[in-house]
Amino acid sequence: MSKDAATAATATSTRIATPQAEGTDTEPAALGLGVSLMPADARAKTEGTFPYAADLWAEGLLWAAVLRSPHPHARIVSIDTSGAARMPGVRAVVTHADVPGEGAYGRKVVDRPVFASDVVRHHGEPIAAVAADHPDTARLAAAAIAVEYEVLDPVTDPEKAFAAEPLHPDGNLIRHIPLRYGDPEATGDVVVEGLYRIGRQDPAPIGAEAGLAVPRPDGGVEIYTASTDPHTDRDLAAACFGLEPDRVKVVVTGVPGATGDREDPGFQLPLGLLALRTGCPVKLTATREESFLGHAHRHPTLLRYRHHADTEGRLVKVEAQILLDAGAYADSSSESLAAAVAFACGPYVVPHAFIEGWAVRTNNPPSGHVRGEGAMQVCAAYEGQMDKLAVKLGMDPAELRMRNALATGDILPTGQTVTCPAPVAELLQAVRDFPLPTLPKDTPEADWLLPGGPEGAGEPGAVRRGVGYALGMVHMLGAEGADEVSTATVRVHGGVATVICAAVETGQGFSTLARQVVHETLGVEEVHVAPVDTDQPPAGPATHGRHTWVSAGAVERAAKMVRTQLLQPLAHKFGMSTELLQINDGKITSYDGVLSTTVTEAMDGKELWATAQCRPHPTEPLDESGQGDAFVGLAFCAIRAVVDVDIELGSVRVVEMAVAQDVGRILNPSQLAARIEAGVTQGIGAALTENLRTTRGLVRHPDLTGYSLPTALDAPDIRIVKLLEERDVVAPFGAKPASAVPVVTSPAAVAAAVRAATGRPINRLPIRPQSAVVTPNS
């Protein structure tokens, strides 16, 4: 089960308050867009028969294990693999010396070694890998590798990283963005300041990483794994293996949850090396501890803010300093920082903005892409500032936000004009007007509704209710000049359509959407989506709603080309253009009723196919002043949180989350609701429970016992009160990303509600119990 599915399943009391989104004029077609089509793999996943990488098997299979560093920072004096190599059943041991090609990799900056050689830079960094005929033998052999370390003082404070000894040859600073917009001398009548800290959230996939590598007769290798960007993973692997890319094939297996963590190819590289070394298939299944130590996490962030406003509550200037802890390697920190700086003022009109942003390396666990990266951290901070302004002005927090809401035609602090629909005020009004939940009744059963439940030792008289608001925004697709392109092929034969596209189904629903597109365009009922591998043309990573836009857009273009091939002979026969023919419910009819036939009859045994690409309009990098048209489009969300807080114990219960979201167009109602529910629940985890804590760089609890995910008992009523359909005309379907923006917005909304209940500043996420305790002096 994916994390999306799992977190959505916890929201057992979710209600969609409006049965139909605004802007819907007609009833959707039976099988096309706008229908809640069930995913094709839903039954297999529910019954436990869906094949994930952990389920794969091959003849002559060997098992792999990886030796990882117990230190966050150390110099490697020596590595002795002889003891492990002599163990019965061990077939190969590999270290950095056995990497035949590039010894390091990276998507933007090549700085991460396959195996540490001279120095260890984070707790859990791979040192060596073993292949053996039994998993226990592999683990014992890995433990038998003798490594002599010279332990070094770790750099764990990102503020001290600027002056610390360089952890890499190019230093500790990955990127600095100084955004300058407006008049630096501008001031407001009212000024508020704040310091905010955001913790390290882990993607925490329900299924840990696993993979299988199989050597090929041509000296190449095939890797079966839950990749979300197989072509990039193939190219990185080929460079490390010293092979041409066409001799490495990545086959995507079922992805058991992906909110960013599946993008690190470091898990796949030892597999391929061992398969090439032994000439045998090699399988690796990570333990939960290895999963926590190996993949990337959300960037811990330190934010300093100063907001200026006039006496009417209108924003004048925003000043901010944003520091992202990238951990040991660069990964996607540059992109995360760009989002953080660009959205540092939030979906508000700000005439003057001066933002300084830095991303630095430390010896903390690696940070990377997690839903809403950059945008989530700044949302918590700028919304905290809006609450402070409201208090200082004696103004209703929602009214203050309404007065400053961004709209289409306004200009971002990056200088980019908002050309897409931006109904921010309308979304806020929707959650503001939605009726508040009733208070718990005075019955024994109501004890379960108190923070902490009946065993929480709290008293009903110590519980205060708070209501908080937050507005969030995210960008769609890649940014700053990223070449966003995807290729798809649609083939129809014998009444069956097949879609070939390397867009990975990660739980976001691409496979279902592709079927719906073909249903609507061609009227073919039976549609199959082919498994993904790197023999297909690239489709890019599964991030920022890319596959809903570029990959489904490519599917639509290919399907329309097939439609033209299908209709042209009929149109020629009856002396009319193809535009005068329509396909509905598997039937082809003309505008005048002269022609009426089925798609199957029109096919007449033919095989039709077409390949197409989709590429959105280009963007540009931010310049030296943080200016530029860096984003293809934006999506927005408003959330009202209602919480109950035990002010003596500091325990928090989220009662209700009312959500209004800018979705562009509803393509699959049930799938959209599940994505929003999952995003809200993930955001609640970031607000209250999820924090991968470290002590001097050592991960303190790399397991699901110490790392607390939200459960069914933590999930509130999630009321989707409005899904606003204002189609983005440049998007293939007019749709916008669904799950990232509620992840961004919900932590800030929960913090605002706790602030309202306690009067405490709440400037740290997750919210610690001591932060919510109200004492006579607080």
Q: Where are the domains of the chain?
A: 20-51+481-614, 54-152+208-255+261-294, 301-480+621-772
Compute the distance between CA of residue 179 and CA of residue 641 in angstroms, rounded to an integer: 32
Q: What's the Cα-to-Cα distance from 216 to each of 16, 219, 221, 265, 733, rounded to whole Å? A: 51, 6, 5, 20, 41
CB 715 within 8 A of CB 10: yes
**Which pLDDT value is given to residue 262?**
66
Quickly tell me which residue has 């199957």 as its tokens. Answer: 600
Q: What is the mean pLDDT of each run of 10 residues along the chain (778 residues)?
A: 39 36 43 84 85 89 97 97 96 96 90 95 97 96 97 97 96 97 96 97 87 95 92 94 96 78 78 96 93 92 98 97 97 95 98 98 94 95 98 97 97 96 97 91 66 71 93 93 91 91 88 92 90 93 87 94 88 79 81 78 86 92 95 95 94 95 92 92 95 94 90 90 90 87 97 96 94 78
DSSP state string for 672-683: HHHHHHHHHHHH
Q: Of 221, 277, 272, which is closest to residue 105 (Cα–Cα)?
A: 272
Backbone angles phi, psi at 297, to 5 degrees: -125, 170
Backbone angles phi, psi at 6, to 5 degrees: -65, -45
How do the residues of the chain divide into helix, strand and coil, expressed in percent and rounded to 5? 30, 25, 45
Q: Of 482, 519, 489, 520, which is closest to residue 503 (Cα–Cα)?
A: 489
**Which pLDDT value is given to residue 52?**
86
Backbone angles phi, psi at 477, to 5 degrees: 65, -175
Quickly tell me which residue has 């963005």 as its tokens. Answer: 177
CB 619 within 8 A of CB 457: no
Q: Of 365, 54, 41, 370, which is closest to residue 208 (Cα–Cα)?
A: 54
**Which pLDDT value is given to residue 239?**
95
Q: Of 484, 498, 600, 493, which is closest to residue 555 (Cα–Cα)?
A: 498
Q: What is the 3-state secondary structure (H, E, C) of 306-374?
A: EEEECCCCCEEEEEEEEEEECCCCCCCHHHHHHHHHHCCCCCECCCEEEEEEEEECCCCCCECCCCCCC
Quickly tell me which residue has 């704040």 as its tokens. Answer: 194
Q: Of 548, 551, 543, 512, which is closest to residue 740 (Cα–Cα)?
A: 543
CATH topology identical between 54-152+208-255+261-294 and 301-480+621-772: no
Tell me if residue 97 falls in helix, strand or coil.
helix
**Which pLDDT value is given to residue 2?**
40
Compute the distance between CA of residue 503 and CA of residue 180 in angstroms, rounded to an integer: 37
Compute the distance between CA of residue 743 and CA of residue 167 in angstroms, rounded to an integer: 32
Compute the distance between CA of residue 110 and CA of residue 101 in angstroms, rounded to an integer: 13
Token pair recorded at residue 228: 């979300």
Kindly tell me the burial class for residue 443, based on how many C-beta atoms sit within 10 Å of its own C-beta (0-12, 13-18, 19 or more).
Answer: exposed
Buried b (16+ CB within 10 A) or exposed e, 320-333: bbbbbbbbbbbbbb
Backbone angles phi, psi at 159, to 5 degrees: -70, -30
Token pair recorded at residue 178: 């100084």
Options 2.60.40.10, 3.30.365.10, 2.40.30.10, 2.70.160.11; CATH of 301-480+621-772? 3.30.365.10
- The enclosing H or E element of 196 equals strand 190-198
Helix axes 230-241, 268-278, angle to 10 degrees: 50
Q: Of 684, 662, 644, 711, which is closest to residue 437 (Cα–Cα)?
A: 644
Backbone angles phi, psi at 499, to 5 degrees: -105, 125
Domain 20-51+481-614: CATH class, spelled out: alpha beta
Compute the distance between CA of residue 49 and CA of residue 34 in angstroms, rounded to an integer: 29
Residues in the chain: 778
Beta bridge partners of 78: 148
Q: How many CB atoms lie within 10 A of CB 189?
A: 11
CB 296 within 8 A of CB 126: no
Q: Of 25, 15, 24, 8, which is closest to residue 721 (Cα–Cα)?
A: 15
Beta bridge partners of 249: 222
DSSP state string for 378-428: HHHHHHHHHHHHHHHHT--HHHHHHHTB--TT-B-TTS-B--S---HHHHH
Per CATH, the number for 54-152+208-255+261-294 is 3.90.1170.50
Tell me if residue 723 falls in helix, strand or coil.
strand
In eight-state DSSP terms, residue 578 is: G
